[in-house]
Chain A
Amino acid sequence: MFTAILSQLFPLLPLALAVYISFFILRATDLTLDGSFVLGAAVFAKMLELNYTPTIAGITALLAGTLSGTGVALIQRKQKIDSLLAGILATFVLLSVNLLIMGRPNISLLTKVTLLSNGINASELDINILSGAYSSILCLGVCLILVTRYGLLLRAFGDNANLLHRLGKNVETHRICGFALTNSLAAASGCLTAQTIGYADIGMGFGLTLTALGAVILGQQILQKFSPKQLLHGMQAFSVCLVGVAFYLLATNGLLRLNLSPIYLKMILGLILIMFLRTANLCRKKGFYASSTT
């Protein structure tokens, strides 16, 4: 069970960070992450199929995520369309785009040389170590950005975009940068997931943003309970995601171990998510978010 959790944890970490940034820093309900997750996987798989090297395929996947983030930011430009609606629309469009890229609903990567394995006889441990390395480096890098002046501007954008505009900053640039960042993280997540499970599938992103949101909120609650001291902002983001995803996976794997019929899985997880979101809402009323974003 432990290796199973590890093999799911690292690929999901960038997605969790993307959700953390878009929900708690940009304060936007960005459901595009679902679509960008698949986009990352699709582009990576297609590029390998076209015989590009895994590195180039990985970079292209990240760039594709950046593009879809830019797209969804442009849909919302000047607040003409609400971020939630823009995200749903973008996911809608991405469904076709992803099918177009892959040419069919799924592509197998099992026999391919990827960033994580050299083909058929790769050990599971190697895959986990490599995916852990890639995902940690990526996430820590992004967390480092969050503590810079640029990260401060992103948080300012989420907090009061109107004021940022009045300070003479171009709000749309920050919107695009923020969404490009989160969506490329989601694409990275999709890319790593496809390599771990051995295929890219058109339906692999379904509901993942909500799942990651649940995990992040769970992580936030746990960290708040056990570490009263405020961590540095960037480190806080990273640890919230790590703890949240780990606990979430423990819960789901535990449920499956209990011989629970998979039919009930989504329903029970959904109910658990509702519970988390409700407790988070209570905390919001108590001013928790005001202090958690510092």
Chain B
Amino acid sequence: MHHPLLEIKNVSYSVPGISRQILSQINYKIYPEDFVILLGSNGSGKSSLLKTLDRRTEATSGDILLNNKKIAHYSQKEFASLVITLTQNTTESLFPSLTVLENCLLALERLKDKTLLKQQNPKQFFSTHLKQFNTNLAHHLSTPVSVLSGGEQQALVLALSMLHPPKLLLLDEHVSALDPSAAEYLLTFTAKIIAAYKITCLLTTHNLNTALRFGNRLLALNNGNISREFNEKEKKTLTQEDLLKLYLPSHII
């Protein structure tokens, strides 16, 4: 058995002053190169769970271990090189008024090893890198990011995070703001990249189709609790109907 990359131990989260428990007693282990689908309806706690995982919020109780070390014990620099989150809001992950090239240069700040910063020809290097993600981007190095289309921005965010592939990639419905064809393209592409770079990934979605097609494990979240877990074998035999049952609030079924 491998050693888990990420271990979630009894994690609960609630907002002070509000009685509702947003996450209650979550326990889960994610192993290297897992691609876990986190399925849940709006308000099920998907995004809150991701936020506690990438330290945007702090769990009220419980521990989160990354490589057997509590995430709170990592320095910001170390943590930044290990974990990246992509959300549907690209302005969170980019410097909107800076150019594509400047965003690339800043993305390198995440690196511990600064050799990449001393590129002989940064423009050449970045345009080759960006070409793999979106051919348009390579021609727009001096364009301000805010002028790019939503699809291009999301592709750029992905490209920037792969300048130095993280150990753990958290995808918080990162394609849900895009039109269906762009979303489909980017999602397939993301899956390819994850496989190519051997990145461990956690993807949240409320789309059953996405949940079936991607990932090797599935986790269903309902009202802040894990309602079902499926391992690799079980997930392969899942059908849309099975998932639909999970999805509906329990009182309807």
Majority SS at the chain A contact face: helix
Cβ–Cβ contact B105 & A166, under 8 A: no
A140 to B165, CA, bound (A): 39
CB-nearest residue of chain A to B75: A168
CB-nearest residue of chain B to A155: B98
Cβ–Cβ contact A294 & B105, under 8 A: no
Q: Scoring B residues 139 to 155 as 1 if CB is less than 8 Å from chain A, else 0, what string do you get?
A: 00010101100000000
Cβ–Cβ contact B91 & A294, under 8 A: no
Interface residue stretch chosen among A79-87, A157-165, A221-229, A260-268: A157-165
Cβ–Cβ contact A293 & B98, under 8 A: yes
Cβ–Cβ contact B94 & A163, under 8 A: yes
Cβ–Cβ contact A152 & B110, under 8 A: no
| Chain A residues, Cβ within 8 Å of B77 | 168
A289 located at the interface, meaning its Cβ lies under 8 Å from any Cβ of chain B in the complex: yes
| Chain B residues, Cβ within 8 Å of A287 | 146-147
Q: Scoring B residues 194 to 224 as 1 if CB is less than 8 Å from chain A, else 0, what string do you get?
A: 0000000000000000000000000000000
Q: Scoring A residues 207 to 230 as 1 if CB is less than 8 Å from chain B, else 0, what string do you get?
A: 000000000000000000000000
B81 located at the interface, meaning its Cβ lies under 8 Å from any Cβ of chain A in the complex: yes
| Chain B residues, Cβ within 8 Å of A149 | 105, 117
A160 to B107, CA, bound (A): 13
Q: A152-B102, A168-B76 are in contact. Are A293 and B97 (CB under 8 A)?
A: yes
B 81-114 contacts with A by CB, 8 A: 81, 91-99, 102, 105-107, 109-110
CB-nearest residue of chain B to A165: B76
Contact of A163 among B92, B97, B99, B144 (CB under 8 A): B92
Cβ–Cβ contact B97 & A290, under 8 A: yes
Majority SS at the chain B contact face: helix
B81 to chain A, nearest CB (A): 7
CB-nearest residue of chain A to B77: A168
B187 located at the interface, meaning its Cβ lies under 8 Å from any Cβ of chain A in the complex: no
A 111-165 contacts with B by CB, 8 A: 149, 152-153, 155-156, 159-160, 162-165
B97 to chain A, nearest CB (A): 5
B28 located at the interface, meaning its Cβ lies under 8 Å from any Cβ of chain A in the complex: no
Cβ–Cβ contact A168 & B99, under 8 A: no
B195 to chain A, nearest CB (A): 25
B80 located at the interface, meaning its Cβ lies under 8 Å from any Cβ of chain A in the complex: yes
CB-nearest residue of chain A to B108: A167
Q: A159-B96, A165-B76, A168-B79 are in contact. Are A294 and B109 (CB under 8 A)?
A: no
| Chain A residues, Cβ within 8 Å of B99 | 294
Contact of B110 among A153, A162, A168, A289 (CB under 8 A): A168
A289 to B146, CA, bound (A): 11
**A residues contacting the other copy or chain, number (CB 8 A):** 22
Cβ–Cβ contact A163 & B93, under 8 A: yes
Cβ–Cβ contact B96 & A290, under 8 A: yes
| Chain B residues, Cβ within 8 Å of A167 | 80, 106-107, 109-110
A149 to B117, CA, bound (A): 10
Cβ–Cβ contact B76 & A160, under 8 A: no
Cβ–Cβ contact B96 & A156, under 8 A: no
A3 located at the interface, meaning its Cβ lies under 8 Å from any Cβ of chain B in the complex: no
CB-nearest residue of chain A to B85: A166
A278 located at the interface, meaning its Cβ lies under 8 Å from any Cβ of chain B in the complex: no
Cβ–Cβ contact A168 & B91, under 8 A: no
CB-nearest residue of chain A to B102: A152
Max chain B C-beta neighbours (<10 A), residue from A155, A168, A287: A168
Q: A163-B92, A163-B93, A167-B109 are in contact. Are A294 and B98 (CB under 8 A)?
A: yes
A294 to B92, CA, bound (A): 19
Cβ–Cβ contact A163 & B95, under 8 A: yes
| Chain B residues, Cβ within 8 Å of A291 | 144, 147
| Chain A residues, Cβ within 8 Å of B117 | 149
Interface on B for A, CB 8 Å cutoff? 75-81, 91-99, 102, 105-107, 109-110, 117, 142, 144, 146-147
Enumerate 19 A-B pairs (CB-CB under 8 Å) in ascending A order.
A149-B105, A152-B98, A152-B105, A159-B97, A162-B92, A163-B92, A163-B93, A165-B76, A167-B107, A167-B109, A168-B76, A168-B77, A168-B109, A169-B109, A289-B97, A291-B147, A293-B98, A293-B144, A294-B99
Interface on A for B, CB 8 Å cutoff? 149, 152-153, 155-156, 159-160, 162-170, 287, 289-291, 293-294
Q: A153-B109, A156-B106, A164-B106 are in contact. List 19 more A-B contacts (CB 8 A).
A: A152-B105, A155-B102, A156-B95, A156-B102, A159-B95, A159-B98, A160-B94, A163-B93, A165-B76, A166-B76, A167-B80, A167-B107, A167-B110, A168-B77, A168-B80, A287-B147, A290-B97, A290-B147, A293-B97
